[in-house]
Amino acid sequence: MACRRLFPPVLLAAALAALSVISSTGVAEAWWWDSLFPDHDDDEHRPPAFSSIVTPKLYGDMFPHKDDAACPAHNFYNYTPLARAAERFPAFGAEGDAATRRREVAAFLAQISHETTGGWATAPGGPFAWGLCFKEEINPPSNYCDATSTQWPCVAGKSYHGRGPIQLSWNFNYGPAGQALGFDGLGDPELVAGDPGVAFQTALWFWMTPRPPKPSCHDVMVGRYYPSADDVAANRTAGFGLTTNIINGGVECGPAGAPQAVADRIGFFKRYCAMLGVDTGPNLDCAQQKPY
């Protein structure tokens, strides 16, 4: 959510020559689910939505560099904590037809990939093979404390800079995220970059939760977005570009936005849609949209 920095070229030195190979679409099967989570409820023979759309193998193909030593988040963003976090949000990847569900998952993975990217133009495997490389904002310009947010008062000495897959930022996001998920977001923001389960939960919480006048990214991607007159006047039309507007539109959308950042988000989205065998749908960018 915080502004992006470009990845330092030092990664080049450590870059591996191996390129990732795009896999075919993962097919829902229960055998691997049972072996991953032997204690899960046997009445549910089908794996939850996310896990049936993105298998561990496909996840590995989508994020071939996340565990490289050069990535500060190496060994943090494992499949299991993501699958577990998704179980807390059963509507994620579970609404609409098969294409809609896959497209929503692709959009979520694209947005968290841009937020955590270690990619650069000539990176091995391409710039979009480097999602989930960072877990914490580098050199935050401030502690992201909005003192006018009296409902979510900052704790002295704590910093609310970008952490986790969605780069959760600001006290007014850490507070409600913690309240919804059951941790002390204001007093213990470090947990978001310390516990992979909490990290993924904050990203899904952000994705699934409307913040009026903003709809949730989830509702936008599953066709449950009903634009107000203001939204219509602002060209805020459903599509991947609107999720970018929700996440960081004040910086990236509209004529004074950041087209390169928006293009990076779209690049990840196109790659994951291809891997999931689904089209991207319309309105990928937000250059014509007014920010909220």
Ligand X SMILES: *[C@@H]1O[C@H](CO)[C@@H](O)[C@H](O)[C@H]1NC(C)=O
CB of 287 to ligand X, least distance (A): 9
CB of 257 to ligand X, least distance (A): 11
CB of 254 to ligand X, least distance (A): 6
Residue of 33, 92, 45, 41 lying closest to 216 (CA atoms): 92
Chain residues 188-217 in contact with ligand X, contact rule CB under 6 A:
none
Cα 76 from chain centre: 15
Q: Can you give the length of the chain in residues? A: 292
Sequence letter at residue 32: W
Tell the residue number behind the tokens 């935050």, with chain if given. Answer: 140
Applying CB under 6 A, does 237 fall inside the site for ligand X?
no
Among 52, 169, 201, 235, binds ligand X (CB under 6 A): 235
Nearest residue (CB) to ligand X, 18 versus 232: 232
Nearest residue (CB) to ligand X, 235 versus 244: 235
Cα 127 from chain centre: 16
Count H helices, E strands: the chain?
A: 12, 0
Applying CB under 6 A, does 253 fall inside the site for ligand X?
no
Nearest residue (CB) to ligand X, 136 versus 231: 231
Cis peptide preceding 47, ω within 30 of 0: no
For residue 242, give every residue at least 6 positions away whose Cβ sits within 8 Å of its Cβ, in sequence order, or none: 220, 225, 236, 283, 286, 289
Contact assessment for residue 284 and residue 110, using Cβ atoms and an 8 Å cutoff = no
From the list 104, 115, 136, 137, the catalytic residue is 115
CB of 290 to ligand X, least distance (A): 5
Nearest residue (CB) to ligand X, 81 versus 259: 259
Applying CB under 6 A, does 290 fall inside the site for ligand X?
yes
Q: Hey, which bits of 74-157 come out as E strands?
A: none
Active site residue 136: no
For residue 168, give every residue at least 6 positions away whose Cβ sits within 8 Å of its Cβ, in sequence order, or none: 1, 162, 174, 177, 192, 202, 203, 206
Applying CB under 6 A, does 288 fall inside the site for ligand X?
yes
Applying CB under 6 A, does 234 fall inside the site for ligand X?
yes
Applying CB under 6 A, does 244 fall inside the site for ligand X?
no
CB of 233 to ligand X, least distance (A): 6
Q: Which residues pair with 136 in a beta bridge?
A: 163
Nearest residue (CB) to ligand X, 158 versus 290: 290
Applying CB under 6 A, does 149 fall inside the site for ligand X?
no
Binding site for ligand X (CB under 6 A): 234-235, 288, 290
Active site residues: 115
